[in-house]
Structure 1
Amino acid sequence: MITGAFLNPELKLGAQKSLKDMDHTSINMLQVEKNHVTSSSGSSHAQDKSIRWLKWAVAFCLILLFALALFIFWQLLRGGIPDKDKGEMDKHVGPNLVNDSKPKAHLTGTKQNDATQDLQWESKRGLAFLKNGMMYTNKSIVIPNEGYYFVYSQLSFRPPVTTCSDDKSISQSIMRSNSNYPEPEVILSGISFCTEGSKIYQPIYLGGLLHLKSGDRLKVNVSPITPVDTSVDHKTFFGAFLV
């Protein structure tokens, strides 16, 4: 039997070297595995931290949206948008009609107390109004300031007691007068004939943009006056406003 004492020294040294190499290889493999485990653990920890931050961000956004909804609801309960915001909206939407100081008038038909051809009007009740210097006197709208005014009038008519004939008509005129004019002048006019099919008079609407002076008086003249329908405000009316 051959024992280790009789082995070739070179073989003995080679065997020792192989054992050392195997030990180094095992240590390196253990170190790599350890590093891999450490890296995987760190990556998982960072991912969990990112998810937690994302959850907090989403929760914060939801809280802000809920607070904004509560604020809007509270503003609506208080009466809507603040006045400052309303003013900003008025600049974009159009003129602020609440603060409009332009003269305007809208008169509605009323029962006639006489048989003259000049219609008299309601200036205060119902849909009627006088604003910013406009006056109504002696069946006339009195213009307070010189400028361009849109003047309008509509007359509606009741069905005749008997069937109207085709040769009958009703005429309407808007007259302007002033202390500087020798005679009243017609500024707008129209006419309605009895229609062949319905045998009733169709409404007359007049409207136009006119240059008027301070003190001008506008009056509506109709002939004949009897068929004029003044039963409701929206059938017969007369008005003017500064543009």
Structure 2
Amino acid sequence: MEGECKVLLDATVHTEARRETMRAKLSSKQTTALLVLTLCLATAAAAVLFFNRHAKSPGHDENQFDLRRTLRQISNERAAIHLDGQYNSTMKTSVEWKNAVDQSHSQGGLKLNNNQIVIPQNGLYFVYSQASFRVKCSSSSDTDDADSQPIVHVSHTVKRWSSSIGPVERTILHSIRSVCQTKASSNPDEEGSWFSSVYMGAVFNLRMGDRLGTVMEEKMLPSLEEESGNTFFGVFAL
């Protein structure tokens, strides 16, 4: 009886030892398989990165960055135009507006065409303009001078042409000022002269294709001040 129990105990111990050995082998196989899978994934990822890097043309990343930056600039670019005015003897009702000279500029679709500003799309716009004149005024010593006047009226007008309001032009800004005042000056060239600027500005709801132009008195055009910052015309989107 004692011998049989010993045999059964030895068999049980041997069976448990075999089970432990099998578990160890199984665990070792699982670990090995996991390591192999990890290595395969790492190799595949490296291959993809290598392929993508060599598939791109030289400068691809730089080109993509420049393109994104350009698109951001376009999307953030607010429409604006600023023009400088110059006297042109062939033009009888307005100064000649100039773009791309001195401080003038344009962006966002606003452009100068046939001496008028063309609106690129519907929206609210701030329209402004200034005309400056140098007028010769009369004094007690030059009352016989035919070119001198005791009082002069200077005016400045901005008009709108739009298909939405009909074929006629509409005045959207207008200002008139009376000038001339006798003054003493240490500069002989300025003796008897009076400088005057007429500035206007307001917000308007404009439509795509609208055209804006200026109108001035023909007799005042030769007296226009053409120095930088004296006579200008501009629009910017809000």
Short-chain TM bin: 0.5 to 0.7
What is the 5 A alignment of 1:150-189?
A: 150-160=126-136, 162-166=147-151, 168-180=152-164, 181-189=166-174
Contact 2:134 2:196 in 1 (8 A): no
CA shift, 1:178, in A, is 2.1
Structure number with greater CO (CA < 8 Å, separation at least 6) is 2
CA shift, 1:99, in A, is 6.7
Q: Of the candidates 97, 100, 104, which is equivalent to residue 128 of structure 1?
A: 104
CA distance in 2, matches of 1:114, 1:174: 20
CA shift, 1:130, in A, is 0.9
CA shift, 1:240, in A, is 0.5
CA distance in 2, matches of 1:97, 1:209: 25
What is the 5 A alignment of 1:71-220?
A: 100-160=76-136, 162-166=147-151, 168-180=152-164, 181-198=166-183, 200-220=194-214
- TM-score, normalising length from structure 2? 0.56
Contact 1:177 1:216 in 2 (8 A): yes
Residue deviations 1:103-132 (CA, integer Å, cap 9, x gap): 100000123141411222111111001101
Number of residue-to-residue matches in the alignment: 146
When residues 97 and 192 of structure 1 are mapped into structure 2, their CA distance, relative to the original with a 3 A threshold, is farther
CA distance in 1, matches of 2:100, 2:132: 21
Residue deviations 1:116-159 (CA, integer Å, cap 9, x gap): 11222111111001101011011100010111101000111123
Residue aligned with 1:200, SS = strand
Structure 2: give runs of 5+ residues left out of the alignment. Answer: 1-71, 138-146, 184-192
Amino acid at match of 2:222: T
CA distance in 2, matches of 1:238, 1:97: 25
- TM-score, normalising length from structure 1? 0.55
Residue aligned with 2:221, SS = coil
Structure having the larger proportion of residues in strand? 2
**What's the Cα RMSD here?**
2.2
When residues 145 and 171 of structure 1 are mapped into structure 2, their CA distance, relative to the original with a 3 A threshold, is same
